[in-house]
């Protein structure tokens, strides 16, 4: 095992500056999956489970969603919520039992609500409630992607080390080109955030500046006119 005194953030920027892998790149058609931009994880003023990495994160996410809608490509929003009994949280809900615990994000609660800042088009966007880390697990997401014939999955949201990573790993495992816009994901601690970005970039996804993703979308929008 290689040891180092460098921080996870320093290692991430070294990897990004010195590409070690051929990028997966963009395909022909993408889906935008916005993982759990709900108050339990975004409203740092209300809940201690919330976190913020880039203060403009949700603005970037909204801008991506607008571009996807211009292309008539699918936009997916997920959030976590559980029954009062928490039985649908399974073993994942057994490690703690406090008001802030995962399994105590109940249906209809404020913690389960999407952040007011996210712009969901309720007439055409897709909203899924998920109960485990990956947005694919026991949701209709795979069927949606097959229907839309997408080959590229773009993932935003949180946490970088949890549900974003789990979704990225499963996306790759299902054969999709997987993209994580850097400014569009967040975590509780910079160490977890950058360590997982590094790992995803080396193995499971292309971690790119959001401007690169938006530029690709704008090129597709221009070509569609």
Active site residues: 163
Task: Tell me the CA distances in angstroms from 63 to 106, 157, 219, 222, one per residue in order.
Answer: 29, 14, 15, 16
Q: Are 31 and 152 in contact (CB under 8 A)?
A: yes
Alpha-carbon distance 147 to 101, whole Å? 36
- Is the separation of the CB atoms in 187 and 196 below 8 Å? yes
Crossing angle of helices 190-203 and 165-173, in 10° steps, is 10
d(CA 153, CA 150): 8
């Amino acid at each position: 095992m290689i040891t180092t005194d460098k921080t996870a953030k320093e290692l991430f920027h070294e990897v990004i500056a010195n590409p070690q892998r051929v990028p997966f790149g963009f395909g022909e058609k993408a889906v935008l999956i916005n993982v759990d931009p709900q108050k339990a994880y975004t409203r740092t003023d209300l809940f201690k489970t919330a976190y913020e990495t880039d203060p403009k994160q949700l603005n970037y996410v909204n801008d991506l969603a607008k571009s996807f809608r211009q292309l008539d490509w699918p936009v997916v929003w997920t959030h976590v919520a559980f029954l009062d009994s928490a039985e649908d949280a399974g073993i994942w809900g057994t490690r703690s039992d406090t008001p802030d615990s995962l399994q105590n994000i109940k249906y209809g609660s404020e913690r389960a609500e999407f952040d007011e800042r996210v712009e969901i088009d309720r007439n055409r966007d897709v909203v899924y409630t998920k109960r485990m880390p990956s947005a694919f697990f026991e949701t209709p997401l795979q069927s949606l992607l097959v229907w839309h014939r997408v080959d590229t999955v773009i993932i935003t949201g949180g946490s970088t080390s949890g549900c974003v990573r789990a979704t990225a790993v499963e996306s790759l495992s299902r054969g999709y080109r997987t993209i994580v816009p850097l400014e569009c994901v967040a975590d509780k601690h910079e160490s977890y955030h950058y360590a997982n970005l590094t790992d995803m970039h080396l193995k499971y996804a292309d971690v790119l500046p959001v401007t690169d993703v938006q530029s690709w979308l704008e090129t597709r929008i221009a070509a569609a006119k």
